[in-house]
Structures are given as structure tokens and as C-alpha cells.
Structure 1
Amino acid sequence: MIQTAEQLVIAVLTYKRPEDLLVVLPRLLDQARSVDLAATVLVVDNDPAGSARQTVEDYPSSLVKYVHEPRPGIAAARNRAIREAVSDSLLVFIDDDEVPSEQWLRHLLAQYRATAAAAVVGPVISEYAEPPEAWIQAGRFFDRRRLATGSLIDVAATNNLLLDMGKVHALGLAFDEKFGITGGSDTLFTRRLAQLGGTMVWCDEAVVVDRVPTGRLTRDWVLRRAFRSGNANVRVDVELAGSAPARAAARSRAFAAGSIRVAGGTVRVLGGLAGGSMSLRARGMRNIARGSGMLSGAAGYVYSEYRRN
């Protein structure tokens, strides 16, 4: 199929990470120069103080653009990227703490051209500042999905995502800023995209590497992330349900599923203690944390992982 986009924007959202920007900007610029349509790099600074401005404006390339989005929350920054990208463009999201593989953008673009999809999604693999402790490895806390290229999917994050802005604008989609400091706005956005008939396809060759800092390699952090994931996913389910009766039903389903997950996790932990299995203990705790997040979401609690002081 023939793609009609005339330009491409690589959007990297940032919040007080100037060192990460210095690492990723030259790599994104190389990616922009590697494709056969006009491509630029857009840095959306979500720090109210605009701390990334000097880093970006000092960068020696006219292909790198800086915009300041002072409203707090990643959803506001994502929406600013959408507003900056015109309707005849492709918008590619990547995180500021990620590094793209050598042919990353070419692979995304090739899959888009082959399918004319509304979105193309690639895998994220983790690289650690230091080796994670055995318990975290046993719990597989940083494992992410890998699929065959061309697989159809119905949900994605924005850490490696290409969007056809013509299709996004036609569907009237934007990121819900109620999820700006809680996480989950990308889950809600892509699920809505799929519900409205937008095709999302997987491209397994378009790899980006997530550079995990030491501060995230703790049991406390990975369990809090599992809790947040469960909480946000239930809130997304409730948001998508629509009517009051449908929302009540979604909360009931989430309560049942969360209870089952907590119970199953408890059984795993006990089995791990009895049999000396670190894997069972760690995976059980992950299930308990995620299930607890689901239960809290079903009860209406909002966990704000990204709240700012």
C-alpha cells in the first residue's frame, strides 16, 4: 500500500533529564536523516521551569525543535506533540531514557508503508545501570512482550509508537489528561484507537532499549509499578465502559479478577516458601501487587505515580 504522509516527527518527551537528552538526541537525529521523507526531532519539555530549553537550543541542528509544555503530566506533553504534528505527518513517540536500535525508524516506516496501519508498535528491551538482584530477575519484572512482525494488537504504550496523524485526527483522538500523573493515558488512547477501527500492527525489528537506572532496581519500585499498572488498567476499563451500569459492571469484573490474582499470588508465595523457589516467591509478589492495584482501582482509588511536589 502507498503511504501518504509527507513528513515525520520523532517526539521525545522529557522532564528534568538533560543528561538523557544529550545521549538520545544525536541518535534520534541520525534516525531522522536515515529515512526518505522529511523528518524532524521534537523535544517536548514538561518541566514548568523549562530546564531542557538550553540543552536543545544549543544543539547544532535545525532538525531539532524545542517546545515547552508547562502543564504537568505526560498526557499534556503527549497532546502537545499531537498539536505540533500536522495532519499529513507521522508522529513517532520514544521516551527520553531510551535508545533506538540502528534501523529502528526505517523498520517502523517500512511496516507502516506495508500495512497503512493507524499505528505501528515496536518492542522495548531493558538495559540496566547495574545487574538487577536475583529476586527481581526471578520475578521477570522487566520482561516485555515480543510478537511476530505484522501481528495485530489492541493496546500499546507510547515508548515505541508510530501514529498516522491523518487517521488520529479523523478519529478525534487525544490523550486523556485525567491520567496525566497516574499513568495509563497511552493505554486508554490506543485502546480507543482500536475500538474505533484503527489498525495497530507490531514490528518486532524496530527495537528500542530502555536504560533502567539504579533507583528502579529495587523491590519497592518494581512492586509499586506493578500496583500502579493494575490500578491504571482498571481505571481505563471503567473509562471505556461508558454508561453508569457498564462502569459498575467493569468495576465488578475488576474486583473479581483482582481478587483471583491476589489469591493466586499468595498461593505462589507460599509454594515458593515451602519449596525454596525464589521464582515462585517473586512472581507471586508481583501478582499480589498487581491484583491489589486492580482492587484499589475497582474501589475508585487513584494512584498517582507521577505526582509532583
Structure 2
Amino acid sequence: MTESVLIAVPTYRRTALLPPLVEAIRAQTEGVRTRILLVDNDPGRSAESVASDLGVEYLSEKTPGIAAVRQAALDAASDGELTVMIDDDVFPEEGWLHGLVAVWRETRAAVVMGFVRYVWPEGTDPWIAAGGFMRRTRFPNGKRLESLATGNVLIDTAQVRALGVRFDVSLGLIGGEDNVFGRTVVARGGSIVASADSVARDDIAPERATRVFVHRRAIAHGQARVRLLIREAPAWRRPLLHLAHLAGGAVRWVAFTGGRAISALRRDTAANAVFQRRAWFAQGRMLAALGIVRGEYARPKKS
């Protein structure tokens, strides 16, 4: 039986990236019944005319945040369709779609997570490239996972609906919606497995290959992690968790800052960058424990 697949592309003001992405997606759909849907989070509907020109479906989701966009994509699929999501800033490599579908056929998992391969632009500061700021582990086909990233993913729509799992729209622009979604799937008896054969390449934009950007990203990840841990705890435990994460973050910040200083003396670039990344993550933990959270996907304020 040939599966039906809704291929959803969450997008926000990256219209120039959409035509080559859609072309690459179409090149991989042989033997699979597919619909391609652009899910636009721009209130100005900037991707609408692009969708029309490309002859693909279009959906406007005005609620800000990637969680709302991902849920809108999932809602747009029928029970008889698998939902594949691929971010608008990555590019599918050969075998991407069939790699996801093949693993689903073998495992019937609720979710199949593909691999995102980050590629730094030429001339990137070696310190940044060595710091592990953007990297994923390429797990073997069928390996069961406890966490989830949704930049390249297949979701068994009917199965996830039966489990009652949805993306948490209340997260807004904070991020972490994929982690919460994945943990909920597993907690309710579903499974997440890996597809090593489904690869999407992320050519990191030059403006992201800076210390300013990776600094902000590391802190945002620390903030999101602690915010999610606290919000999922019973109300009576939350004040204690605020204190625990503040103390834990402070201890880690001191330790990692010390490690960074020692690695600098040793001229160990990779260790220095890794210690700095961990120190920034710890800083984000402390900020979140104090109630200060600025999401990874926060947008500039209107003037």
C-alpha cells in the first residue's frame, strides 16, 4: 500500500528559501502520494503568493510561535495521512522522504525523527565550529529515542491523535515544544525512533555564525529547559525548583567558567568553546530560575 503524506513546511518570512525547498521536496515524492503545505506564521501572509506561484497548499497561522505552526500543520492532515515536517531553512538530501517512510513502515512508530546535518559557512570562527553550538547525533535506523527535535520528522497522525498528544501552543516563542511533544508521546505509550537515512542539511546562515548569536542561543536553551521543567512540576514543588535550579546553575557556571579559563591557558580551542557554551547554558538556567525568560524565537519589538 502506498502511504499518503502531508509534507508541511513551517515558515516565517523566509520566502526566498521556499522555491528551491519545494522543488527539492517534489523531486523525492516518487512512489508516495503527497500534498505540500506551507504553514505561514507571518501575520502579513508573506508566503501566500509564493505558495500560489509554486502550486502548493497554503495555511496562515497567526498565533505567534513555532508550536502553533506545528500544531496547525498536524491539524491540517487527515487521519489517513502521515505528517512530515521539514523546516524552511533546511534542505532535504537524497533519500530524505523515503528514509522517513521506510523506517515508519518497519516500526509503525508514532514518530520518526530524521537527522539534521549542520554545515557552517566558509570562514566560520574555529572556536564557534568546535563548540558544539549546533549539532545533532545521527542515530541508527529504528533506534528508540526519549527526546525529539522536529526540524525533520514524520508523525503518524492517527496514532498521535489517538494518544491525545498536541503541541503546547502556550509555549509561544520560548521553544522546547518538540521536547515536550516527544516526552508526552513516550509517556502515553507511543514510540519515537530514528531514521539515519533521512538527512536534511542546514546551511547555517552567516549571521548565525557569530559569537553573539551562539551566546544568545545557548542562554535561550538554558532558559527554555528550566522553564519547562518547572512548569511540568506540581505547583507545590515549583518554588523549591526555582531555588534548586538557581543554585545548580550558579555551581555549574562557576565550574564551567573555571574550565574555560584553564583551557584558555592551555590554548585548547575546542575545550574553551565547550566550557563557554556550558557556562552560558548555566547562565540561562539561573535567569529562568529568577523568572527571566526570553525565547529562542523571540521577535523584535515593533517600534
Superposed pair shares fold, TM > 0.5: yes
Counterparts of 1:296 and 1:216, CA distance in 2: 23
TM-score (norm 1): 0.91
- Asked if 1 retains the 8 angstrom alpha-carbon contact of 2:2 and 2:31, the reply is no
Q: Is the aligned partner of 1:138 residue 2:124?
A: no
State the identity %: 35
Q: Runs ≥4 in structure 1, deviation > 6 angstroms?
A: none
In the alignment, structure 1 residue 21 sits paired with structure 2 residue 21: no
Say whether 1:184 aligns with 2:176: yes
State whether structure 2 residue 277 is matched by structure 1 residue 286. Answer: yes
Q: Structure 1 residues 148 and 130, CA, compared in 2 at 3 Å: closer, same or farther?
A: same
What is the total number of aligned residue pairs between the two structures? 300
Shift of 1:250: 4.3
The root-mean-square deviation of aligned C-alpha atoms, in Å, is: 1.8
Change (3 A) 1:50 1:264: same
Deviations 1:144-188 (A, max 9, x none): 212222211111111011111111111222211222211111111
Correspondent of 1:173 among 155, 161, 165: 165
Q: Residue 290 of structure 2 corresponds to which residue in structure 1?
A: 299
**Distance (whole Å) between structure 2 residues aligned to residue 5 and residue 91 of structure 1:** 14
What residue in structure 2 maps to residue 35 of structure 1? 31
TM-score normalised by L of structure 2: 0.93
Matched residue type, 2:11:
T
Query: How many Å apart are 1:72 and its aligned residue?
Result: 1.6
Change (3 A) 1:11 1:289: same
CA spacing shift, 1:163–1:78, aligned 2, 3 Å = same
Residues 240/197 of structure 1: CA separation in 2 closer, same or farther (3 Å cut): farther
Q: Distance in 1 between matches of 2:25 and 2:133?
A: 28
- Asked whether the equivalents of residues 37 and 57 of structure 2 are also in contact (C-alpha less than 8 Å), the reply is yes
Partner of 2:45 in structure 1?
A: 50
Q: Which runs of 5+ in 1 are unaligned?
A: none
Give distance in 1, aligned partners of 2:96 and 2:244: 39
Matched letter for residue 49 of structure 2: Q
SS of 1:206's equivalent in the other structure is strand
Residues 260 and 23 (structure 1), Cα distance of their counterparts in 2 relative to 1, 3 Å cut: farther
The answer for the alignment partner of 2:260 in structure 1 is 269
> Kindly tell me: are residues 249 and 110 of structure 1, through their superposed partners in 2, closer, same or farther at Cα, counting changes over 3 Å?
farther
Task: Report the alpha carbon displacement of residue 248 of structure 1 after superposing the two structures with TM.
Answer: 4.2
Residues 267 and 105 (structure 1), Cα distance of their counterparts in 2 relative to 1, 3 Å cut: same
Q: Which moved more, 1:49-58 or 1:270-279?
A: 270-279
Change (3 A) 1:252 1:277: same
Q: Which residue of 1 aligns with 2:222?
A: 230
- Contact kept? 2:120, 2:129, Cα under 8 Å: no
* Cα deviation, residue 88, structure 1: 2.1
User: Closer, same or farther in 2 for the Cα pair 1:249/1:123, shift >3 Å?
Assistant: farther
Deviation, structure 1 residue 249: 5.0
Distance 2:196 2:247 in 1: 34
Which is further off, 92-101 or 275-284?
275-284
Q: CA separation in 2, counterparts of 1:258 and 1:145?
A: 25
Q: Equivalent residue of 1:147, what SS? A: coil
Task: After TM superposition, give the deviation of residue 255 of structure 1 in Å.
Answer: 3.5
**AA aligned opposite 1:292:** Q
What SS class does the counterpart of residue 19 from structure 2 fall into? helix
Q: Distance in 1 between matches of 2:293 and 2:18?
A: 31
How far is the alpha carbon of 1:143 from its aligned partner?
Answer: 2.3
Tell me the secondary structure at the aligned position of residue 276 of structure 1: coil
TM alignment of 1:202-241, pairs within 5 A: 202-241=194-233
Q: Which runs of structure 2 are paired with 1:63-82 in the superposition (5 Å)?
A: 64-82=56-74
How far is the alpha carbon of 1:273 from its aligned partner? 2.3
- Report if aligned partners of 1:150, 1:201 keep a CA contact under 8 Å in 2: yes
Structure 2: gaps spanning 5 or more residues: none
In structure 2, give the amino acid aligned to 1:175. F
Further displaced range: 282-291 or 176-185: 176-185
